Structure 1
Amino acid sequence: MTERRAARAAEAERNDRALLEAARDVLSLDGAHASVAAIAKRAGVGIGSLYRRYRSKEELFQHLAVLAVQQWNEAAERGLAAADPWTGLTGFVTECVESGQGSLAPVAGTIEVTPEMWAASTRGDELLAELVTRAHDAGALRPDATAVDVSLLIEQLRRSPLVDQVRAQGRDDLVDEAVRARRRIIAIALDGLRAGPGRPLPGEPPSLRLFTERWEARTS
């Protein structure tokens, strides 16, 4: 009995990971209008079994949001474990971009934020703030760059039109080169965060509410 429960739990975890990856792909194309059927098909999960576990599309997205933030937090913890603050910060950003962090942003404001989502997100904010503070204290991160700037950078970089296009075309011969090209773009963007001579960033720094309050459901 214990072995069967463990096997079912392992299968559920594999399905969740597949659903998260599928949701990231489908949402990048269809936005908030992405259907559960399309996500399930891409993940190779039966729609019937999916609805036996999740009662609604909202419940599915709430669960996937928690998984995504947990991955963010794990990446941040690995960054904080790095001896060099700059290496830790840039490693965190690169990992988040390449794993598709920010892909669930299209559902912001369309689902209710659960206490579990809120707790995971709050922890993520704390970890990122620590990463940024370490990099500032080490003189590695430009002084006018904030944690919200880093969050928004990850969200903007996570989608690569070039990678998406060659994959959609079935050009397997070009995918690796496109991925390498995206890594160069990530490196170029990260270099703009380095402390040193350069023009000041324009305008006032973005507030945390810009990044978080769009998740509040709005009624017409």
Structure 2
Amino acid sequence: MARRAPRHAEAARNDHALLEAAKKVLAVDGAHASVATIAARAGVGIASLYRRYRSKDELFQHLCALALDQWIRVAERGLEHDDPWEGLAHYIEACVEFSGGALGPLAGTIAVTDEMSAKFTRSDELLGRLVARAHEAGALRPDASAMDISLLIEQLGKSPLIDQLDRQGRGDLIDAARSARKRTIAIALDGLRPRHPRLPGTAPSPTLLSERWEHALAESPKQP
């Protein structure tokens, strides 16, 4: 076990680096992002990567599971807040900060594994509880649904300004860009308060998000 512990720690570090690199590369290249580009950005050798994962799809499925773990952990922390609004706000801010929706470009391109499906379900359950608590406390506008929150996070998680400055190597402006995004998040959070006019249209259905992942399941060949 002593010999395996360093390897396990290294694998965990590589996983974190790959996940962060994948988010950034996918934000720019979308579903066409190459494993080589992600590995290079993460500082992980491509050969060692393919020794661990049999295919690009398997790597992306693993990264999706890791991203879902992040969503689950931050939702659980949000539920620990005594104040329902603060718990929900913490969840939204944290999810936007680590760009939880940045793996969205993979939707419809990879099969949804049993592990991913279970974590999607758990994440949805926790978000539902956060939203229900905030509604019951009168802290969240009554016409805002869990799906509205998910879509809001996905949109706020994208930051063309930060991505552009990062590509240009303008590290001197990154902090200012992040500060600007925090202001945008604060404006969006204020819009979730109950004092505003009713939202237009009807609340989005959960299938609006899930169907894009189900497409991959239908189109992908069955695994042996």
Q: TM-score, normalised by structure 2?
A: 0.95
Instruction: Name whichever of 164-173 and 53-62 sits farther off.
Output: 164-173
Aligned to 1:209: 207
Moved over 2 A (4+): none
Match of residue 29 from structure 1: 28
- 1:61: which partner in 2? 60
Distance in 1 of aligned mates of 2:172 and 2:42: 23
Aligned counterparts of 1:219 and 1:126: Cα–Cα separation in 2: 27
1:12-71 Cα offsets, whole Å, 9 max, x none, are: 010001000000000000000000000000000000000000000000010000000010
Unaligned runs of 5+ in 2: none
Structure 2 residue aligned with 1:95: 94
The aligned amino acid for 1:5 is R
Distance, in Å, in 1 between the alignment partners of 2:109 and 2:167 is: 27
Q: Distance in 1 between matches of 2:168 and 2:59?
A: 29
Among 190, 197, 200, the residue aligned to 1:199? 197
The CA deviation at 1:168 is 1.5
Alpha-carbon distance between aligned partners in 2 of 1:8 and 1:172, rounded to the nearest angstrom: 33
Aligned partner of 1:126 in structure 2 is 125
Find the counterpart in structure 1 of residue 136 from structure 2: 137
Q: Which letter maps to 1:121?
A: F
**In structure 2, distance between residues paired with 1:219 and 1:121:** 20
Q: Which is worse superposed, 170-179 or 46-55? A: 170-179
* TM-score, normalised with respect to structure 1: 0.97
| Amino acid corresponding to residue 30 of structure 2 in structure 1 | G
Q: What is the one-letter code of the residue matched to 1:109?
A: G
Give the fraction of aligned pairs with identical amino acids, expressed as a percent.
Answer: 65
| DSSP 3-state at the match of 1:3 | coil
Coordinate RMSD, CA, aligned: 1.0
1:151 corresponding residue in structure 2? 150
Tell me by how many angstroms 1:161 deviates.
Answer: 1.0
